[in-house]
Chains A and B, each alone.
Chain A
Amino acid sequence: MFKLTFKRGGIHPKEMKDLSKDSAFEEMPVGAKVYIPLVQHIGAPCTPTVQAGDYVKVGQKIGLANGYVSANIHSSVSGTVLGFEARENAAGRRVRHIVIENDYKYDEAFLEPLENPSSEEIIARCKEAGIVGMGGATFPTHVKLEPKNPIKALIINGSECEPYITTDYRLMLEKPIEILKGVDLVKKALDTKQVFFGIEANKKEAIEHIISHVDDEQLSVFELKTKYPQGGEKQLIYALTKEIVPNGGLPSDIGYIVLNVSTCLALYEAVYLGKTSYTRYLTVSGKGIKRPANLHARIGIPYEEVVDYLGGANEFVKIISGGPMMGVSMHNLKTVISKGSSAILLLTEKEIRDVSPTPCIGCGRCARACPINLMPMLIDDAVLNNKIEKAESYYALSCIECGCCAYVCPAKRPLVQSQRLAKKLIREKNLKK
């Protein structure tokens, strides 16, 4: 059967979702200390609003958004602020973390729940609660809710195309009503009626479950072909509407907004329960973990506590924050769960890609896999020979870093890394001008 999908390229990696897809969400216990990173989103770091010695409550704001594209952060436990510590965050950067000693009382400082909020109230709540894109991109959601152009339709992303991750799948099974209520809130905020809900074909149960809970004629659920990167914003828009976002533009330029299911759920909790964004749902998986699971965890819990909770680890060689295609590998298990942690993966030697590159044989597989229609091997060649202008002429800046090129490369070349390098060098060169 013909299924909706994006225009070109793409791959179908081993799904590996069976490891965790049948385990329901568990509440992750909290240890004696939590470490809340001051950067959990794309945009400016937060300014801390607490000092060492202060007493904070669950959900209380402890970091203030710095500018428009930024998001507040909140305490995930109640207790005393011990101070600040520089640690590696889930994006692999060293940032300041607020260390809070847990008093296990969980005194709550929630916002006032809203009964029937207006568009402005929803956006203000979204901003106050510090909601960011929970799919992993962590772009502040309130920015998306205030687009410059009128919005034709809202697109809900339930595709979860990354291997291993089953967070959104479990959420669609366990919290469909809450998600759909969150979708209604976004509709109201954006003043739009039409909603397209895209779910990949390998999540049949989720599709059926969501459809059975929909009572909105203008919300249509679509089954998408199981193909990576189906959940990429531009790929998803093409799959559902056959419209192409202009190169370098945003989805709102052509009248669409894409939100992840877990972001909708976070918005529901913020508006109707007054809960700020201090927890998240995530998958812990990979052959390296003894017991793969889906967790509901407070932000600021170090990975090592998660691993201990799940019965320890087998021999593993790689720790990944996020999915295996676009996630970031970590130096150690001291990294903490943050708003963007859609998954923690412990991968064994057998699961990971061989990383010793051999010469490019010019087979063209990367170009055929590229969903953006780029020529990764030529950009790789140009940037490694320090020909920045040439790399730019091959449109390196349009790369979405989805990883399809490096996935298919038989010569095991680190193509994504060279695209990133090309993008960085091109931007530096253009700044100098």
Chain B
Amino acid sequence: MQEKYIVSSSPHVGTNLTTKKIMLHVIIALSFPLVAGIVFFGLYSLFLVALSVAGAVFGEWLYNKLRKKPITVYDLSAVVTGLILGLNLPPTVPFYIPIVGGVFATLFVKMLFGGLGKNFANPAATARVFLALSWTAQMTRFMPPINYSTRPLDFFAGFKNICSSASYITTATPLGTIKTSAQTGFLNLNLLDMFLGRIGGSIGEVCSLAIILSLIYLLVFKIIDWKIPLTYLASSVIFTLIFYKKGYNFILPSLLGGGLLFGATFMLTDYATAPKTFWGVIVYAILAGLLTILIRRYGGYPEGVCLSILIVNILAPLLDKIFKPKPLGFVKKKRKTIKEGL
């Protein structure tokens, strides 16, 4: 028997889930849409995502080094940020965009506000908005998916345009089609293609099937709570019905097009920036759905997921304050004193 024992506060047992394991689960879930993106847009997509991850990890490492703090990159949260940002980029962007975006996401949005768990806005969403404002043309140039039956070698073609994306043949995304046909209420989109991902769009958001698998994976392993994604999707459906002419035609295109599913699964559910109270979470997800549909329908951009996520992120602490839970069996103090007085 040894001389000294551990003396610490109860409880003495606990789950073996750690922050790092949670991040690993998210990375596994993110790999589904990543694989789909590589299949549809070629190997260059993987290169872009890898650069984004490298940028994000470098940003966090650099901050630790400059501030002489312990290196925190081993918890893998920077990898998750890099992956989410990378999957949010069009598959045609020049190589420097993901690097700048990755460094911006961790160094400025995450580390400067206190690091893991302390950032007030989603680093990947903020970085994407920052990139969209800085390189608007490049960030809105979407290519059609590779046609393997006629041009299989396109799988490696992306590397030819590593410095500039000007030479790509671009395609309209379903969101653009939705925007232009919102007035008429008539829509001609192939829903099966949208579900499988045979459409133009960002690397990770095109394949709804892969994202739904990720969502199920994360829900099964209880990495995310069902409330945020499901409320957000439900609220998006309801506001689509309200704001679109013949809204029922737009429900599935709204859900399957653009980053709505991806945002619901990976970005809105970001632990640090979501509220923690039950009703806070519900209102947060409803508001996010409202803002997404409003921006898509009436805003200047075809896509509103990232912007609406950023706005509700900022509201999250306020929502937590408003919906502060009462302990079980709570009795108002005032009433008690009146009774005693009588």
Chain B interface (Cβ within 8 Å of chain A)?
1-2, 5-15, 17-19, 21-22, 75, 77, 115-118, 225, 271-274, 276-277, 320, 324-331
Contact A331 B7 (CB under 8 A): yes
Which residue in chain B gives the minimum CB-CB distance to A418? B9
Binary B-proximity of A11-48 (CB < 8 A = 1, otherwise 0): 00110000000000000000000000000000000000
**Interface of chain A, helix or strand or loop or mixed?**
loop
Q: List 7 A-B contacts (CB under 8 A).
A: A317-B5, A351-B13, A354-B18, A361-B22, A398-B327, A406-B14, A416-B9
Chain A interface (Cβ within 8 Å of chain B)?
7-8, 13-14, 92, 163, 234, 244-249, 313, 315-320, 324-333, 345, 347, 351-355, 358-364, 367-368, 371-375, 377-378, 393-395, 398, 401, 403, 406-412, 414, 416-417, 420
Contact A347 B12 (CB under 8 A): yes
On chain A, the residues within 8 Å of B320 by CB distance are 375, 378
Contact residue among A313, A377, A398, A420 (Cβ-Cβ distance under 8 Å from B276) = A377
Contact residue among A324, A368, A420 (Cβ-Cβ distance under 8 Å from B9) = A420
On chain B, the residues within 8 Å of A347 by CB distance are 12-13
Contact residue among B6, B8, B116, B331 (Cβ-Cβ distance under 8 Å from A361) = B116
On chain B, the residues within 8 Å of A411 by CB distance are 18-19, 117
On chain B, the residues within 8 Å of A359 by CB distance are 115-118
Taken together as a complex, chains A and B put the C-alpha atoms of A393 and B6 apart, in Å, by 33
Contact residue among B10, B17, B273 (Cβ-Cβ distance under 8 Å from A326) = B10
Shortest Cβ gap from B228 to chain A (Å): 10
Contact B12 A318 (CB under 8 A): yes
Contact residue among A329, A360, A371, A406 (Cβ-Cβ distance under 8 Å from B5) = A329
Taken together as a complex, chains A and B put the C-alpha atoms of A324 and B326 apart, in Å, by 28
Contact A360 B117 (CB under 8 A): yes
On chain A, the residues within 8 Å of B22 by CB distance are 361, 363, 410
Taken together as a complex, chains A and B put the C-alpha atoms of A351 and B21 apart, in Å, by 18
Which residue in chain B gives the minimum CB-CB distance to A319? B5
Q: A14-B13, A353-B14 are in contact. Are A395 and B6 (CB under 8 A)?
A: no
Which residue in chain A gives the minimum CB-CB distance to B23? A361
A-B pairs with the 10 shortest C-beta distances?
A: A403-B11, A353-B14, A417-B9, A398-B327, A244-B329, A364-B276, A361-B117, A247-B329, A363-B271, A324-B13
Contact A368 B225 (CB under 8 A): yes
Contact residue among A14, A362, A367, A409 (Cβ-Cβ distance under 8 Å from B272) = A362
Contact residue among B19, B118, B273 (Cβ-Cβ distance under 8 Å from A358) = B19
Shortest Cβ gap from B117 to chain A (Å): 4
On chain A, the residues within 8 Å of B1 by CB distance are 313, 316, 333
Taken together as a complex, chains A and B put the C-alpha atoms of A333 and B4 apart, in Å, by 10
Contact residue among A329, A361, A371 (Cβ-Cβ distance under 8 Å from B328) = A371
Q: A245-B329, A407-B15 are in contact. Are A364 and B10 (CB under 8 A)?
A: no
On chain B, the residues within 8 Å of A318 by CB distance are 5-7, 12
Contact B10 A328 (CB under 8 A): yes
Contact residue among B14, B21, B77, B325 (Cβ-Cβ distance under 8 Å from A409) = B14
Taken together as a complex, chains A and B put the C-alpha atoms of A367 and B15 apart, in Å, by 15
On chain A, the residues within 8 Å of B273 by CB distance are 362
Taken together as a complex, chains A and B put the C-alpha atoms of A361 and B77 apart, in Å, by 10
Shortest Cβ gap from B110 to chain A (Å): 12
On chain A, the residues within 8 Å of B272 by CB distance are 361-362
On chain A, the residues within 8 Å of B225 by CB distance are 364, 368
11 further contact pairs, Cβ within 8 A, besides A359-B117, A363-B271: A246-B329, A247-B328, A360-B117, A362-B273, A364-B225, A364-B276, A373-B326, A373-B327, A409-B15, A410-B19, A416-B10
Contact residue among B5, B12, B118, B276 (Cβ-Cβ distance under 8 Å from A367) = B276
On chain B, the residues within 8 Å of A320 by CB distance are 12
